[in-house]
Amino acid sequence: MTFPQKAFRPLLWLLPLGFLAVFYFYPLGNILGLSLGEGGLGAALSDVLGRASLRGVLGFTIWQALLSTLLTLVVGLPTAYLLARYRFPGKGLLRAVSGIPFVLPTLVVAAAFSALLGPRGWFNLGLMALFNLSSPPLNFVNTFAAILVAHVFYNTTIVIRMVGDFWARLNPRIEQAARALGASPGQTFRRVTLPLLAPALAAASLLVFIFDFTSFGVILVLGGPQFATLEVEIYYQTISLFNLPTAAVLSLLQLACTLGLTLLYARLSARLSRPIEVAAPERSARPLRGTARWLAGAWLAALMIFFALPLFGLAARSVTRLDAERQQRSAVETGLTLDYYAALGDNPESSIFFAPPLEAIGNSLGYASATVLLALTIGLPAAWLLARRSEALSSRVLDPLLMLPLGTSAVTLGLGFLITLDQPPLDLRASPLLVPLAHSLVALPFVVRSLAPALRSIRPRLRQAAAVLGAAPAEVLRHVDLPLVGRALLVSAVFAFTISLGEFGATALIARPEHPTIPVLIFRLLGRPGALNYGQALALSTILMSVAGAGMLAIERLRFAEVGEF
C-alpha cells in the first residue's frame, strides 16, 4: 500500500547515509588523522595551544563572540519587550526588516557596511566633501567596532524573535499579580519576568554566540588582517601558509566547540517547547502612551535606520559615482551611473584569478542549480524516512546525523574537502561538482527540515481515499503526494539555491581560483584598489542581496499556506 515498495527501502537509507559518510565523516576523519600527526592528539593540541599567537586567536574568538552577544542583547531585549507588550503601527514591518540581515550572505553585509562607513563609503566621502578633508575622517573598516556592529546587525533578529515571541506569550496577569502583591516594576521584572524568560533568553543568547563564534566573512572583510578568529585562522593557515596540520588541529578545536554548543542549544530549545502559562499575544499587547511613546518611537526609528540604511547604502552606492579617487579630493564628482553594472563583463585585472563578474555569476548559478538537484536527491529520501513516524529508529539516528553539518563550521567543511577529495579514489579537485557537494552538505539540514513536516502532514486517509477510488500506488504518489509536497519541495529548492549562492566559508577554500563564485569574487574585488573594482564588488553584492532577499521572501510566502494547516 505505501510507496515506496519494500525493495527500495535500503536505497532510501543508502543515499543520505552514503552521502554523509563520504562527504562529511570521511573528510572529518581525515582532519582528525592529519591533526594527530606523529605525536597524537595531545601533542598536536599542546603544540598549537603552546603558540602564543594561536592562544590569542582562541581567546579573541571567545572574547569577540561574548561581547557581540552582549551587545546584541542590549539592542534586542528592549525591542523584544516593545514588540511583545505593545501595539504600535509598523510592528510587522520592523519584525520583517530586522530579519533581512539574517538571511543575507556575509559578503553582502560586509560590502554594505563598507559602502556606508568604509573609506570609500557614503559617510567618509560626504564628510570629506563637506569639510574639504584629504583623507577619510571615519575609521570604521578594519576595526574591532566594525566586527561588533556587523554581528549586532546580523543577529538582533534572533533575540527579537525568540525572546520576543516567548515574552508575548507570557500571561501579563502573572506580572500584575506580582504588582498587586507589592512588587515594584523593577522587582517584578527581576523576580518574576526574568526567571520566566530565562529559557528563551538562554537559548537565544547561545544561538547568537554560536553564530558569532563561527563568524568568518564579516571578520575577514570588515575586521582586516589584525583580527583573526579560529575560523579565519584556519583559512589563513590553509590558504596563505599551507600549514595543513595546524589548520586541522584548529578545525578540530572549532568542531569540538561548535558541536558542543549546538548540542547545548538543542537541549535548551527543546525546553522552550514546554508549555508555560500562556496568553494570546493579542490580549497582552497594549498601545503605547505618553513619554514612553516618544522614547519607544525614537528607539524603534533608530533601529529601523540601523537595519535598513546599510542595505540602501549598498544599493545606492552601486549606482552612484563618488569620484574622490583623483588628485583634487575636495571636489567630489557625484552622479548616478550604471557603469559598474555595465562593467560586470570586464575582467579588471586581466589575470586569470580575476574572472569577469559575469562569469562568476554564471558559475554561481550553475553551482546553485547543481546544489538544488543534489540536495533534493539526497534530502527527499531522508525526509521520507524521517516522516514515517512508525520507524522510531530513523528519527533517533538519522535526524541528529543530518543536523551535524549545521553544527560544523563552513571553513572546517571546506578544509575537509580540500585534504580529502584531492586524491584517488575521490579526486574531485578539478570536478565542477566539488563546490555543489559542499553546498549540498550545508543546505541538507534546511532541505530535510522543510520537507519532512510536509511529508508527515499528508494524512494516510488521503492516500487511502485515493486508493479506494481506484488509484494504484504510483498514481497515489503522482496525484496526492507530489501535489501536496510540491510547495515544500519548492521551499527546499529555494533554500538550497539561496544558500549555495551566498555560501562563502567553504567556497573560499575549495573554489578554483579561475572559477570564483559571486561571494568569492566580491571578497577579492573589495580587497583591491580602484573605483571600478569597488563598483563591481558593490554591484555584485547588490545583485546577490536582491536574489537572497527575493528567495527568502518566496520561502516566507510559500510557507504561509503550508499543507499541514488543515
Partner 1 sequence: MLTLLNVSKRYGDFALQDISFEVAAGQTVALLGPSGSGKSTLLNLVAGLEPPDSGQILWNGTDVAGLPPHQRHFGLMFQDFALFPHRDVSGNVAFGLEMQDWPKAELAARVAEMLELVGLPDFARRPVDRLSGGEQQRVALARALAPRPRLLMLDEPFGALDRGLRERLLADLAAILEASGQTSLYVTHDQEEAFAIADRIVLLRAGRVAQIGAPEELYRQPASEFVARFLGLDNIFSATALQEDGRTFLDTPFGRYASPDQAARGAVRVLFRPDAVEWGHAAEATLKGVLRQRQFRGNTVWAEVEVQGQRMRFEFASRAPLPALGQPVELSFDPREALQILHEDGHQHQQV
Which positions lie near partner 1, rule CB under 8 A? 1, 459, 461-462, 464-472, 475, 479-480, 483-484, 563, 566
Three-class secondary structure of residue 174 per DSSP: helix
- CA atoms of 536 and 349, how far apart (whole Å): 12
Closer residue to partner 1 in complex, CB, 337/457:
457
526 alpha-carbon distance from chain centroid: 21
CB 234 within 8 A of CB 251: yes
For residue 350, report the phi and psi dihedrals to the nearest 5 degrees. 45, 30
Closer residue to partner 1 in complex, CB, 188/492:
492
- CA atoms of 557 and 278, how far apart (whole Å): 27
Closer residue to partner 1 in complex, CB, 462/554:
462
Closer residue to partner 1 in complex, CB, 393/468:
468
CB 448 within 8 A of CB 383: yes
Closer residue to partner 1 in complex, CB, 31/491:
491
Closer residue to partner 1 in complex, CB, 400/564:
564
Query: In terms of Cα–Cα distance, which of 311, 288, 269 is closest to 115?
Result: 311
Cβ at position 459, least distance to partner 1 in Å: 7
Closer residue to partner 1 in complex, CB, 198/465:
465
For residue 255, report the phi and psi dihedrals to the nearest 5 degrees. -60, -45
- CA atoms of 409 and 253, how far apart (whole Å): 11
- CA atoms of 413 and 270, how far apart (whole Å): 27
Return the H-helix or E-strand segment holding 336. strand 333-336
Cβ at position 490, least distance to partner 1 in Å: 14
- Grid cell, residue 78, equals 528592549
Three-class secondary structure of residue 335 per DSSP: strand
Cβ at position 554, least distance to partner 1 in Å: 19
Cβ at position 452, least distance to partner 1 in Å: 19
Question: Which DSSP letter does residue 5 get?
Answer: P
- 455 vs 30, 299, 449, CA distance in Å? 36, 43, 11
- CA atoms of 402 and 395, how far apart (whole Å): 10
Cβ at position 366, least distance to partner 1 in Å: 33
Cβ at position 475, least distance to partner 1 in Å: 6
Cβ at position 465, least distance to partner 1 in Å: 4
- CA atoms of 323 and 531, how far apart (whole Å): 8
Closer residue to partner 1 in complex, CB, 97/558:
558
Closer residue to partner 1 in complex, CB, 484/558:
484
Cβ at position 557, least distance to partner 1 in Å: 17
Cβ at position 522, least distance to partner 1 in Å: 41
CB 93 within 8 A of CB 173: no
CB 382 within 8 A of CB 446: no
Query: In terms of Cα–Cα distance, which of 311, 306, 315 is closest to 160?
Result: 306
- CA atoms of 488 and 292, how far apart (whole Å): 43
- Residue environment code for 357-370, b if the CB has 16+ CB neighbours within 10 A, otherwise e: bebbbebbbbbbeb
Closer residue to partner 1 in complex, CB, 139/457:
457
Closer residue to partner 1 in complex, CB, 247/480:
480
Closer residue to partner 1 in complex, CB, 4/195:
4
Cβ at position 373, least distance to partner 1 in Å: 25
- Residue 105 burial (CB < 10 Å; 0-12/13-18/19+)? buried
- CA atoms of 94 and 149, how far apart (whole Å): 19
CB 141 within 8 A of CB 61: no
Cβ at position 376, least distance to partner 1 in Å: 20
Cβ at position 461, least distance to partner 1 in Å: 4
